Each structure stands twice: as C-alpha cells, then as structure tokens.
C-alpha cells in the first residue's frame, strides 16, 4: 500500500502523445489509435521535487504500445514539453512555447491558463510535423496531445476522474482548415 504525502509546492504534469504517419491517416488506422490520447493513472510514488512530468507516448511505428517516462527537476524541465511555467505567489501560469510543428504554426508563446493552488488544467492540441527541416521533403507525421497540469500534488487517478478547473482545446483539422478552438 502506498501512502501519498500531499505537497502544495509541486507541479505535476502528464503529457499523453499519440503519433502516426501520413499513411496512418485513414479510418482503420484511426480506429487503432482511438482512445489512446486519454489520461492515464499517475505512477506512484512520484519523486519529491518541484516539477514532475509523466510523459506517455504511443507511436504507430511501435504498434501504439505505450512508453511511459517520469522526469523530475525544476521548472526548466517543462521546456522539453514545449511548455513554460511562471509563478505569481501560489498561482502558476502555463504557456505553450513555439515548437517545431509545421501546422498549426506558432512563432510566439501562447497563454494557456493560470492555476491557483489545488487546481488542474487540461490542454488539448494536435500537430503536423515534417520528418526533416527541409521544405523539399513532403513526409509528415502527426501528433495528438492531452496535457494535464496540477498546481499541487494529486491522487494517482486525478487526471482520469473529474473535470479540470481550466480546459483549453486547441485541436485543429490537420488535413484542412481549423476545426475548433475553445477555452473555459
């Protein structure tokens, strides 16, 4: 049995990514990855450090077998997720940094949400990337992200149950025009 020590000074982030190729865009392939972009249980125990990241990755190339990593460090660790954190007292502001996505393209940071102590935010987005930086290579791959951020320690199933306090949905139609952009 695991006992959790609840800490108010920790940020817990879970990013779930699903990746597929241009050849994997069809309906049968979409069925194979359906439901993989949902939150999963947080592993326990988590390291007792300022920022803990649970990074979950399912890739078409690996037959969508999930790989899970736990990363821990200071606020700089979130840069590897193309996110940034800014603190104002006990509140934390989460922003999306410009990344390498070919679409949707963003050349600047994007405010996502501010969380007070004990709140959870969810950010959903999808992207199209080039395999190389060369415009001459038309090879693409796609990713669907669901990112949960908790300002304070959370129960291992918190991202699975209950609604987030803040919810940003920046998913777009990757093959056409923008589909939806909502925030609450």
pLDDT value of residue 123: 96
pLDDT tens by residue, 62-118: 999 999 999 999 888 999 899 999 999 999 999 999 877 666 566 778 999 999 999
Comparing C-alpha atoms, which of 116, 112, 117, 114 is closest to residue 145? 112
Query: Which of the 8 DSSP states describes residue 61?
Result: G
Q: How far apart are CA 31 and CA 75, in angstroms?
A: 36
5 has pLDDT over 60 = no
**56 close to 39: Cβ distance less than 8 angstroms:** no
Query: Which of the 8 DSSP states describes residue 43?
Result: P
Tokens of 118: 């004990």
Domain residue spans of the chain: 11-183
pLDDT value of residue 11: 95
DSSP state letters, 115-155: E-TT-EEEEEEEEEEESSS-TT---EEEEEEEEEEEES---
> 135 falls in which pLDDT band (50, 70, 90)?
low
């Amino acid at each position: 049995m695991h006992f959790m020590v609840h800490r108010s000074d920790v940020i817990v982030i879970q990013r779930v990514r699903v990746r597929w190729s241009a050849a994997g865009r069809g309906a049968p392939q979409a069925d194979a990855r359906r439901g993989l972009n949902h939150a999963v249980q947080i592993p326990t125990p988590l390291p007792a450090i300022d920022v803990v990241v649970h990074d979950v990755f399912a890739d078409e190339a690996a037959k969508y077998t999930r790989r899970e990593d736990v990363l821990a460090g200071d606020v700089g660790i979130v840069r590897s997720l193309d996110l940034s954190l800014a603190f104002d007292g006990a509140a934390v502001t989460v922003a999306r940094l410009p990344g390498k996505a070919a679409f949707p393209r963003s050349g600047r940071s994007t405010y996502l949400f501010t969380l007070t102590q004990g709140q959870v935010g969810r950010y959903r987005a999808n992207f199209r990337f080039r395999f190389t930086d060369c415009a001459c290579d038309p090879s693409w791959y796609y990713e669907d992200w669901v990112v949960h951020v908790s300002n304070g320690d959370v129960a291992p199933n918190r991202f699975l149950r209950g609604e987030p306090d803040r919810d940003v949905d920046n998913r777009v139609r990757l093959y056409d025009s923008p589909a939806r952009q909502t925030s609450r």
